[in-house]
Structure 1
Amino acid sequence: MRIPLADGQALVRGALTAVLRLEPDIDVVAEIGTGTEVLAAAQRITPDIALLDVQMPGRHGLTVAADLQRALPGCRTIVCTTFSRPGYLWRAMSAGAAGYVVKDSPPEQLVDAIRRVHTGLRFVDPALAAEALAAGASPLTGREADVLRVAAEGGTVADIARALRLSQGTVRNHLSSAIGKMQARTRAEAARLAEANGWL
């Protein structure tokens, strides 16, 4: 199995590569440090499975997973991350990922996930799968999530409107709706709660 491994931390990348290279049927063919490099590298090497972190410099791993699904449908993806967040799992599966492994899992679980995904199955960390089912999908619309994402950076309503090319009234409506759905008191609290659940 030919696998490019993308992780923003060099030490983690090296450790995961060392573990995987102990397996006779797994070949780590590229180590990638940023999300912006993944698609071009994958198109060059035509891998069987891409192993992606969620938060990488350049591009978010879940965005990269969707890119790979469109550009290289024969390449399956596994998200391997420190973030055990139900929202990230929902978003990863929606982006076409075939697996989701949390980095504090035993190495054998990652190897098992790779082998299962290679045979056409899916693999999700069992504890996270149960948590995600209990939590449900994100209550936020895509636009509400966009507005909260920009609001988390501390901008005013005018700043958010400018960044997203929306009217200030529309931004206020989205903020109000998102705050209500998150059962928060302020937009900052709503953004924190949404981020903690992996919905942003």
Structure 2
Amino acid sequence: MEFRIEHEWDSSPVTHDPVTICLKPAKEGLLIAVNAPFFNDPPAPPGPSGEAFPGLWDYEVVEAFFLNDEKKQYLEVELCPHGHHLVLLLSRRRNIWKDCLPLSVQVSRTDSRWNGTALIPWDYFPPSVDKFNAYAIHGSGSERRYEALYPVPTNEVQAGQQPDFHRLEYFRPFNFSALMGEKWEQPESSLWKT
């Protein structure tokens, strides 16, 4: 399953090769693979590569969100070209109840592109995921860019509106069965039982 981020948050087209996100099945979880331009702006976060970094969204990052629309429970996974990551579990819009979960991430980089892969354990996903969105962020100051797989439609953008990746109403239907097979059932999560 492949997704291309071709628009900014407000539906304007991106001005570079789009970020590509591939989702692949794995027994232990969902494999996510990112292929993206490398802007190196802002520079790397100050923490060790390979570890969770709070506030990673303030750096160059690609994000994937998996939502249970009925209960408004969602998983946010962020990958950075410098090897950092951030995993958040949220219940209702912006209400983080667990963060900095461990994630094994591999990143390779050239001067112009980066590739990142991570295996997201099934335990991290809320029950009955049925919607998805993905984002990419890069740049500093007035050059900061916020890109969305499913952006705010042009006719719904308000004057002075700012990007907000937690606008759950713009997420679109997602079905794990299309990826895992019709008979597959999402494993129960011990994290989401609490």
**Shared fold per TM-score greater than 0.5:** no
With the length of structure 1 as denominator, give the TM-score of the two structures.
0.27
Larger relative contact order (Cα-Cα within 8 Å, sequence gap ≥ 6): 2
With the length of structure 2 as denominator, give the TM-score of the two structures.
0.27
The structure whose residues are more often helix, as a share, is 1
The structure whose residues are more often strand, as a share, is 2
